[in-house]
Structures are given as structure tokens and as C-alpha cells.
Amino acid sequence: MNILQELENFINEFNQDNNEEFSIDSIRIEFSKQHKKKKLDGIGKWEKLQKNSNILHKLKNRLGVDEVTSVMRLEKHNIYYYNSNKDKPKYRTATMVIFGLKQYHKSPPPHHIVSKVLSILNNVTNIDICLDIPYKPKIELLENYFTLKQFITKDGVSTDTHYINNTNASMIEKIVIYDKALKNGLDCVLWRIEALISIPNIKVLALPLQEFKRITDLLKGIE
DNA sequence: AAACGACCGATTGACAGATA
DNA sequence: TATCTGTCAATCGGTCGTTT
């Protein structure tokens, strides 16, 4: 079975058993281009991003800026890979990033293309699982259990975006809570709770969804 | 059989300084 | 100013032996 299908099944089963609505928003995969590039090129046309493009700047935020040498984009999709120089002088390692899988203002990357990318790379190192709720989450309740960090812009303006950088759950690197409607200009009230989950071994698929649910329940006001 | 990793070498790209 | 050129960084493909 395809990796994407396995991930989706895993989450869907959890959702059914727990009356939950978790979705995948992003997927990241570290890989070596040596034996994959040819197959990836077969999917479609990859274009190099301009040095000054702001997508590139955004993407660099999540990796060490220094080790990113260039970024390739698959046509007009939210599917990219970063080239890295951390294995210098081989320049073979790259990180695939597929994002915006759960969004409302634009259509997400086509499912069959995402599926194809995953079946070529045959791995997943990192995924973001999210839950959207139609009201503002009870962030105060979380403060009893976690250390929260509020996002402050460069100009010193504090925003309604909050982070938990230490979640106690080893596979959950970070939690982000933000105003999704504001971010995407939606005409409704919508907040997103997002967990950045690392997957040490895709062959032993286990996602800390129960741990994530504990946090989303608190944010819904269920103590 | 298919995927993988180490090694080699050829080609392309980015950038700076020299030249016209 | 526009073009050329040298240098080093970045990228990619091929082979070959090893793992899965």
C-alpha cells in the first residue's frame, strides 16, 4: 500500500474511534537525490525559485538558512524540495515539502500527485497534523500545563499566534495555534491548532494523536 | 530485483574582478 | 556600462559493490 494511504488510514481510524477531525496539512521528507531525481522529473516540470522570491524566504525559515542552496518547485503546486549543502561536497541531500493540504482559500495540491511523490520517495520524516475549530480556542487553559510563547513580529507587535515549544510528547516537536481566518482572509471565524510531528521510522507507523487530542481538548475547553 | 551508498568526473551556475 | 574570464560552489550522471 502507498505511504500516503497508510497515513490517511491511520488518521481516519483515529478520527472515527475518537469522534475527531484531524487532518494532514504538511508533509516533509528528507531524501537523497542520487536515485530519485529521475523519477521525480517524470512527475512534471520542476522549476528553480528565484534567489529573492519570498516563497524561498518563507521556506528557509524551517531549516538552517545556511544549508539551503536552492529550492525547486513542481509546476504551480505547493510541492517543493530544498537542495542542501550539509553533505558537501556531494550536494545530494534534499528535503521535500508538501504543504497547504488542508486549506480553504485555495485548492490543495492534487492528491494523485502527492501520492506519486510519496510513492517515489517511499518515506516521511515529518508531518503537520491540524485541527480547525470555528471559535477562538481557550489558550488560557493550556497555560496550566505548558509554557506558551506568543509570536511577536519584528516591529514588536504581539499577535494571537501561540507556540508550545516543549510538549512533553517526544514525537511532537511543537504546537502552533493561530487565527486561520485572519491568515487566509476568510470571511468567518476559524482557528487552527497544528502539531509538528516527527516520524523516526515510517515502517513502524505510530502518530501521537492521543497526545495531540489532549491538547486540542483543552483548547476546546474540555478539561 | 530493486534500492542504496561511496566514489569519480563532467557540467553548470554564481559572483567578482578585469577588460573593452 | 557591457562583456569577458577565472574561480569556486553546486549539480548531476555513471559505475560498482552492498543492502534490503
Distance CA A127, CA A118 (A): 12
Task: Judge if the upstream peptide bond of residue A208 is cis by omega within 30 degrees of 0.
Answer: no
Q: Which residues contact A151 (CB under 8 A, 6 or more apart)?
A: A158, A159, A161, A162, A163, A178
Would the pLDDT of A50 be above 90?
A: no
Average of pLDDT values for A140-166? Answer: 92
pTM of the predicted protein model: 0.93
Average of pLDDT values for A164-176? Answer: 94
> Would you state the cell numbers that stand for residue A106, as one nine-digit string?
485555495
Nucleotides, chain C, CB distance < 7 Å: 9-15
Kindly report the CA angle at A76 between A1 and A62, in degrees rounded to 5?
75
Would the pLDDT of A63 be above 90?
A: no
Average of pLDDT values for A4-29? Answer: 97
Split at pLDDT 50, 70, 90, the class of A158 is confident
Would the pLDDT of A221 be above 70?
A: yes
What phi-psi label fits residue A75: left (phi over 0), alpha (psi between -120 and 50 degrees) or beta? left
On the 0-12 / 13-18 / 19+ scale of CB atoms within 10 A, A203 is exposed
* A90/B9 CA-to-C1' distance in Å: 12
Closest protein residue to B3 (Cα–C1')? A35
Q: Where are the beta strands (DSSP E) in chain A?
A: 23-32, 46-48, 68-74, 79-84, 93-98, 126-133, 148-152, 158-164, 172-179, 191-198
Distance CA A71, CA A119 (A): 21
Considering only A131-135, A140-144, A152-156, which range has the smallest mean pLDDT?
Answer: A152-156
Give residue A143's identity as a one-letter amino acid code.
E
Kindly report, residue by residue over A172-218, the tens digit of the pLDDT.
999 999 999 999 999 999 999 999 999 999 999 999 999 999 999 99
* A91/B11 CA-to-C1' distance in Å: 14
Closest protein residue to C13 (Cα–C1')? A34
Task: For strand C, list residues 91-150 of chain A whose Cβ lies within 7 Å of it.
Answer: 91-92
